[in-house]
Amino acid sequence: MTKPKVLISDKMDPNATRIFQERGCDVDVITGETPEELIARIGQYDGLAIRSSTKVTKAVLDAATNLKVVGRAGIGVDNVDIPAASAQGVVVMNTPFGNSITTAEHAIALMFALARQLPEANAQTQAGLWPKNGFMGVEVTGKTLGLIGAGNIGSIVASRALGLKMKVVAFDPFLTPERAVEMGVEKVDLDGLLSRADFITLHTPLTDQTRNILSAENLAKTKKGVRIVNCARGGLIDEAALKAGLDSGHIAGAALDVFQTEPAKDSPLFGTPGFICTPHLGASTTEAQVNVALQVAEQMADFLVNGGVTNALNMPSLSAEEAPKLKPYMALAEKLGSLVGQLTRDSVPRISIHTEGAATELNGKPITAAVLAGFMRVQSATVNMVNAPFLAKDRGLEVREVKTEREGDYHTLIRVSVKTEAGERSVAGTLFNNVEPRLVEMFGIKVEAELTGHMMYIVNEDAPGFIGRIGTLLGESGINIGTFNLGRRNAGGEAVLLLSVDSPVSAEVLEKAQRLPGVKTVKALSF
């Protein structure tokens, strides 16, 4: 097997390279390239490991013909076009916890820097001014900290602030009252936070809902003398309104680690009294960088080498422990999905995936994703387990999952049913010896078959002589039969024949087969 090839395109702790190599990947570290250079290079890689500098745009993804996974050594993935990655079947993963303590500490550091004007006091002292009377600060003890976003980082900031004897109020629509009590914070609405906070700190992702959350209008609702810290994302604050607020004295101080446009080499905010900044250093500690580098390399290598999926943003998780158990099920699921997809001509408004027996003990999401991938592959060759659920949703396909823990005729079974104009049609399969996928039922007829390679599917009236006739036709056409699988509804009724053949079946042979007496349907299949 050729080794998966990974490109590290942003500055990353060398532990990432070591882990990739130890886990069987080839690695190139090439940082600081232009988008054009990345586009020219990306086609040869299976994995791309990034931080916040590399922009994984649709153009990059279009050129990434071999890419299977983008790994973000950090939290924010606003530099990755996730819908485009999903559409292309590329898994996007991040490391959601590795740098959260470090970033929370940076927010607290900036809060203190604002409270005591440390950067300016330092600069003037070192300039020989000894400005002892120029820097009257404020205490943080007893002050109210307004937390916008109370997730991983926000909750660490809250715990540190409570230790500093601050009162913490939090605005986060997804924060449950129970969690707020557990965190020791008061859950408030945004207006309540704006009117009460002495310090405001932002810890939300940048989304359509959070963009510009501190707009000119909202900044006007803040308490006079408020100090604002942003270690999350640039687009959360209206920078022009922030400058106006600092200039007017309504806002006493603002500390930004992140900017609307990065790198921020020029900004109207630079030089404004009360304004301090750092160049997106929130995650920059030795500890955090080792954490995220190790984690991203482990996750990506696990995916590329073993198929394990951890912390993916566009695919269900699949642990390295589960992956080998699920692998044969996913193969079975994909084959069943593909069989139904190849045999269904009508539009399908609903697909149901029914697991029975041992299959119900497993994580059902990857099984569903594999069925959908197989089912939709007839429509698009680029469908895989990552993009199939998104495509299904896009196309209005209703997906149902049903589990029956008790065993039926088989110790484990997956049944895929589709609703068509002709009614509900289903196929079912099991695993022989827990590893070999086998079809066991097709449209209500028991038929055992391995779904593999080139196959021919024939429905005919069960009558003597048919098997000989089809054998002769294929023999005369130079097509060698591998396996022969037969099932019938009842003697003399409808029979199903599934043949595996050593070469593709041409349209001409299909037509001849269709003309044989008693034949209702003939179709070439491939798996």
Ligand X SMILES: O=C(O)C(=O)COP(=O)(O)O
Ligand Y SMILES: NC(=O)C1=CN([C@@H]2O[C@H](COP(=O)(O)OP(=O)(O)OC[C@H]3O[C@@H](n4cnc5c(N)ncnc54)[C@H](O)[C@@H]3O)[C@@H](O)[C@H]2O)C=CC1
201 is a site residue for ligand X (CB under 6 A): no
What number of chain residues touch ligand Y (CB under 6 A)? Answer: 32
| 51 contact, one of ligand X, ligand Y, none, CB 5-8 Å limit per kind | ligand X
Strand partners, 147: 170, 201
Nearer to ligand Y, 74 or 487 (CB): 74
Nearer to ligand X, 79 or 368 (CB): 79
Q: Judge whether 377 counts as a catalytic residue.
A: no
**Helix, coil or strand: residue 119:** helix
- x/- mask, ligand X, residues 274-313, rule CB under 6 A, reads ------x-xxx-----------------------------
Annotated catalytic residue, options 262, 322, 448, 494: 262
Task: Compute how many other C-beta atoms are within 10 angstroms of the C-beta atom of residue 419.
Answer: 17
**Dihedrals phi, psi of 201, to nearest 5 degrees:** -130, 135
Choose which of 26, 31, 59, 205 interacts with ligand Y (CB under 6 A).
205
Q: How far apart are CA 383 and CA 385, in angstroms?
A: 7
Strand partners, 496: 459, 487
Nearer to ligand Y, 281 or 473 (CB): 281
Minimal distance in Å, beta carbon 289 to ligand X? 8
* AA identity, residue 285: T
76 is a site residue for ligand X (CB under 6 A): yes
387 is a site residue for ligand Y (CB under 6 A): no
Nearer to ligand Y, 280 or 438 (CB): 280
51 is a site residue for ligand X (CB under 6 A): yes
Strand partners, 47: 6, 69
Strand partners, 431: 437
- x/- mask, ligand X, residues 89-128, rule CB under 6 A, reads ----------x-----------------------------
* AA identity, residue 37: E
509 is a site residue for ligand Y (CB under 6 A): no
Q: Judge whether 425 counts as a catalytic residue.
A: no
Structural contact between residues 145 and 167, judged by C-beta atoms closer than 8 angstroms: yes
Report CA-CA distances (Å) from 316 to 266, 274, 378, 437: 41, 45, 23, 22
Q: Is the peptide bond before 119 cis (omega within 30 degrees of 0)?
A: no
Of residues 271-330, those binding ligand Y (CB under 6 A): 280, 282-283
Q: Judge whether 233 counts as a catalytic residue.
A: yes
Cβ density class 115-131: b for 16+ within 10 Å, e for less: bbbbbbbeeeeeeeeee
| 151 contact, one of ligand X, ligand Y, none, CB 5-8 Å limit per kind | ligand Y
Q: How far apart are CA 180 and CA 177, in angstroms?
A: 5
75 is a site residue for ligand X (CB under 6 A): yes
- The binding site for ligand Y (CB under 6 A) comprises 74-76, 96, 99-100, 103, 148-154, 171-174, 203-205, 207, 209-210, 231-233, 257-258, 280, 282-283
List, by residue number, the catalytic residues: 233, 262, 280
